[in-house]
Amino acid sequence: MPSNRALLIRCLTVATTPLLAPTAAAADTAPEVMEEVVVVSQRQPYRGDVPLQSLPQSTQLLSEELLDQHQITNLQSALDLSASIARQNDLGGIQDTFAIRGFAGDETMPSGYLVNGFSAGRGYSGRRDISNIERIEIMKGPGSALYGRGEPGGTINLVTKKPQFESAGYIQTSLGSFDSHRVEGDYTDALSDNIAFRINGAYEHADGYRNTDPRKYALSPSVLVNLSDATSLGYELEATKQQALFDRGIVVVDGVPDVPVTRYLGDPENGASEIEALGHQLVMQHTLNSGWQLSAGLGYRDSSQASFSADAELSDGRQLLYTDGTTLSRQRRSRDYAAEDLSGRFELSGTFNTGPLTHHLLVGADAYEFELDFNLGRWRVDWGGGDDTYAINLLNPVYDGVRPTPVPQINQLQIQRSRGVYLQDQIDFSEQWKILLGMRLDDFDQSIDDRVNRLRSSMSQTANSPRAGLVYEATAEWSLYASYAEGFRPNTGSDFYGVAFEPEESKSYETGVKLVTDDGRTTGTLALFRAEKSNVLTVDPTNPGFSTALGQAESAGVELDLATKITDDINAVFSYAFVDAKTSNDTVNIDWGVEIPAGSRLLNIPEHTASLSISRDLELQGAPASAAMGVRYVDERVGETVDPDYVLPAYTLVNLSATYSPTGGITLMADIDNLFDERYYANSYHKLWTMPGAPRTYNMGIRYSF
């Protein structure tokens, strides 16, 4: 890792050579949310000044109010409210991983998402707490024409709570099932007429339904300085620390004795996985006399993960479970990962006219440098033997015995650098017809120092990502749109000949209808989409042991997102998605060497997903109260690529929550998740690495607002 001095030099270099992050998103919900953005004078990056109703793509917003109604505290649970998002392999329960519209990216890495337009998914920051989140913006469809490299399914942007010039805050505590307890707080105030601050955070600890003893700390102080009526400077810090036993879940194999979802098959004596992350964001916004807005930002995130784990052996020839039905052979792995992510951006946006045409122009540049120090060790039993070293009995697990020492498997220093420029113009031909044209140019390079094999490789790639869209605003309430975009995501590494892989390339098509009623009580989007991706890594058929970029995949479907205020005190939010995600050609899985025929379904992607949230404000003994119900349906999913017949069953979960405020500053809270105690599986990588969902759980808490 570079010295502090070297880091400072890099920061200054990036800051002076127009700047940042590869992705961003936007909201699509009630107009009052956009009014909040105006009040705090903070425009989201990659956004411009185009109204959301006029954008040719589907967007979805998960507001702070919606998350509070369901008493959600983590990002993965929040994303369950969107039917377009499916859970993926979560690396032993210590990272957030998801797919949007069927595409997940690298299944062994955290999913990419943004915080205020800065990348937060690169590296190892653990499970995201949302104590400092104001809203979650889900921008569906390809974003590479603006945000840089990414998946064609969509982009998620987390917008944090900003300092305010009026005093407000709360502190709350809760306890619940599996000896869980949580403390959360938030406070903002003015230090002067031009300076405001905010500090929020949370501490959470539980035994966990899997007895993994998860523990989480999160702290987020921020400050906003109004340098003038036209210029603001904001700084935010995020510090997180997490601890939990590494957990691959349970085994689900025909003929193997069933085990309860609470049975931990890892090794408690390995100790907790340790995850730490520290992030900084510095953003300046300036409004020019002409009304144009200039924005510049710098972000830096340092993250690390260290752990030992006992992972079920996935190789048939090394697995005793297939011999006696009760003895689970395990690998022992060690992980020592450290990452640094420096990024910056510079952006100018505004409106001008050329004759009868109105142009909403957005132009910018960004860059990042990402360093990953990746050290993975592994011990495993020999092929074909009856060695029960480090094995565990499924029916009567005993957590003791010999703990073999892992030997280095991968020890690399990876350095990625990217620079990009982007331009987008949405042109109003009339009050009804709008056309969007965009283009992004990216220059990406990477070097890999392989310390095990004492090899060094490097590669560089360039990519052009065009985007076009058409919007017809038929009435003040209804609009129709269509769009086309191309995107890319670099593949790391090289083939048999030492030549860098071609990047994954994508083409996306979308058309839809949007609704925003005059009174703002109902918003909705119906979208039809199709995306194609090529150059997916697969086994090289002519050079065993090496990979080549020959794979292809596609996803098509329909989505419906609807939010409505049924009455003055009843709100409903509905989300539905049909996703047909599959391979487009015959390939070979790079992990197993197994042939995957064209038309095979993609891992962990349900065809049908639906989410319904209904909430009601009411009075109880003359005091305000509320009640909410959430229902989520997830269709069956393929649970592994080795055996396409291994399918995770469909499930339906019902969650209830309620609040009661007997006095002005006190609120009592309660919630029950998985009301009917349904047994279900949240995600899987293999039948021996299947993560069961939590059984029925409850929480009760109290909040004091001031």
Distances (CA, A) of 602 to 436, 590, 642: 32, 14, 12
Size of the chain, expressed as the number of residues it contains: 706
Indicate the residue type of 243.
Q
Cα diameter, the chain: 81
Going by pLDDT thresholds of 50, 70 and 90, the confidence category of residue 19 is very low
Residue partners of 77: CB distance under 8 A and separation at least 6: none
Is there a contact between 368 and 341 (Cβ–Cβ < 8 Å)?
A: yes
- Cα–Cα distance, 22 to 294 (Å, whole number): 19
Which residues pair with residue 706 across a beta bridge?
A: none
- Range in 190-199, 399-408, 530-539 with the lowest mean pLDDT: 530-539
The CA-based angle 306-310-312, given to 5 degrees, is 135
C-alpha–C-alpha distance, residues 397 and 404, integer Å: 18
Query: What residues have CB less than 8 Å from 324, skipping those under 6 apart?
Result: none
The pLDDT score that the predictor gives to residue 111 is 67
HEC string of 517-541?
CCCCCEEEEEEEEEEEEEEEEEECC
pLDDT attached to residue 110: 60
Amino acid at the residue 60? Q
Of all residues in the chain, what percent carry a pLDDT higher than 70? Answer: 88
CA distances from 44 to 294, 360, 602 (A): 12, 15, 33
DSSP secondary structure letters along 297-323: EEEEEEEEEEEEEEEE---GGG-THHH
pLDDT in tens, 44-91: 788 788 877 788 999 999 999 999 999 999 999 999 999 999 999 888
Q: Phi, psi (5° rounding) for residue 34?
A: -65, -30
**Is the predicted pLDDT of residue 629 greater than 70, yes or no?**
yes
Render pLDDT for 636-681 as a digit per residue (tens, 0 to 9): 999 988 788 899 999 999 999 999 999 989 999 999 999 999 999 9
Least confident interval from 91-105, 261-275, 590-604 = 590-604
Does position 3 have pLDDT exceeding 70, yes or no? Answer: no
Is the pLDDT at 700 greater than 70, yes or no? yes
Query: Ranked by mean pLDDT, which of 3-17, 209-223, 452-466 comes out on top?
Result: 209-223
Question: Per-residue pLDDT tens for 346-395?
Answer: 999 999 999 999 999 999 999 999 999 999 999 999 988 778 999 999 99
Mean per-residue pLDDT, 483-508: 76
Q: What is the pLDDT of residues 276-298, one digit of tens each?
A: 999 999 999 999 988 899 999 99
Nearest to 332 by CA among 358, 367, 308: 308
Mean pLDDT (whole number) for 21-29: 34
Neighbour count for residue 594 (Cβ, 10 Å): 15
**Structure tokens given for 676:** 């009917």
Whole-angstrom Cα distance, residue 45 to residue 296? 9
State both tokens at 582.
Answer: 């599959």
CA 678 to chain centre: 26
* Side-chain-side CA neighbours of residue 427 (13 Å): 13
Average pLDDT over all residues of the chain: 87
**Is pLDDT of 10 > 50?**
no
In whole angstroms, give the CA distance from residue 272 to residue 213: 8
Question: Exposed, middle or buried: residue 404 (CB in 10 Å: 0-12, 13-18, 19+)?
Answer: middle
Reduce the DSSP state of residue 689 to 3 states and report it: strand
The answer to whether the beta carbons of residues 617 and 601 sit under 8 Å apart is: no
For residue 6, give the H/E element and its range. helix 4-15
Measure CA 504 to chain center. 20
- Rounded Cα distance, 574 and 562, in Å: 5
- The pLDDT of residue 15 is 35
Mean predicted confidence (pLDDT) in 197-220: 96
Measured CA to CA, the distance from residue 488 to residue 69 in angstroms comes to 38
Smallest Cα–Cα separation from 270: which of 162, 401, 143, 148?
Answer: 401
The predicted pLDDT at position 580 comes to: 97
Distance of CA 664 to the CA centre of its chain: 36
Neighbouring residues of 368: CB distance < 8 A, sequence distance ≥ 6: 14, 20, 21, 22, 119, 341, 342, 343, 344, 416, 417, 418
Q: What is the pLDDT of residues 299-310, one digit of tens each?
A: 999 999 999 999
What is the DSSP code (8-state) at residue 591?
T
Tokens linked to 700: 């009760």
Q: What is the DSSP string of 110-178?
A: PPP-EETTEE-SSS---SPB-TTEEEEEEEES--HHHH-S--TTEEEEEEEPPP-SS-EEEEEEEEEGG
Neighbours of 532 (CB within 10 A): 16
pTM summary value: 0.89
Mean pLDDT of 308-324: 92
Residue 23 has pLDDT above 60, yes or no: no
Residue (of 329, 289, 21, 291) closest to 148 by Cα position: 21
DSSP element (H, E) containing 64: helix 64-69
Residue 502 DSSP code: P
SS3 12: helix
Residue 296's SS3 state is strand
- The count of C-alpha atoms lying within 13 angstroms of the C-alpha of 411, restricted to the half-sphere facing its C-beta, is 11
What band does 258 get if pLDDT is binned at 50, 70 and 90? Answer: confident
Per-residue exposure over 425-460, b if at least 16 CB sit within 10 Å of its own CB, e if not: bbebeeeeebebebbbebebbbebeeeeeeeebebe
Poorest-confidence range of 118-122, 269-273, 440-444, 625-629? 118-122
Q: Is the pLDDT of residue 199 over 90?
A: yes
- CB-based contact 161:136 (threshold 8 Å): no
pLDDT value at 541 more than 60: no
SS3 611: strand
pLDDT band at 24 (very low <50, low <70, confident <90, very high): very low
Contacts of 427 (CB under 8 A, 6+ apart): 357, 358, 359, 360, 434, 435, 436, 437
Alpha helices, H only, 396-535: none
Burial of 72 (0-12, 13-18, 19+ CB in 10 A): buried
Question: Per-residue pLDDT for 25 more than 60?
Answer: no
| Residue 539 pLDDT class (50, 70, 90 cuts) | low
Whether 445 has a pLDDT exceeding 70, the answer reads yes
Please give the average per-residue pLDDT across 498-525, as a whole number. 87
Query: What pLDDT does residue 499 have?
Result: 62
Place of tokens 């909705």: 524
Rounded Cα–Cα distance for residues 495 and 447 (Å):
15
Tell how many helices (H) and how many strands (E) occur in the chain.
6, 37
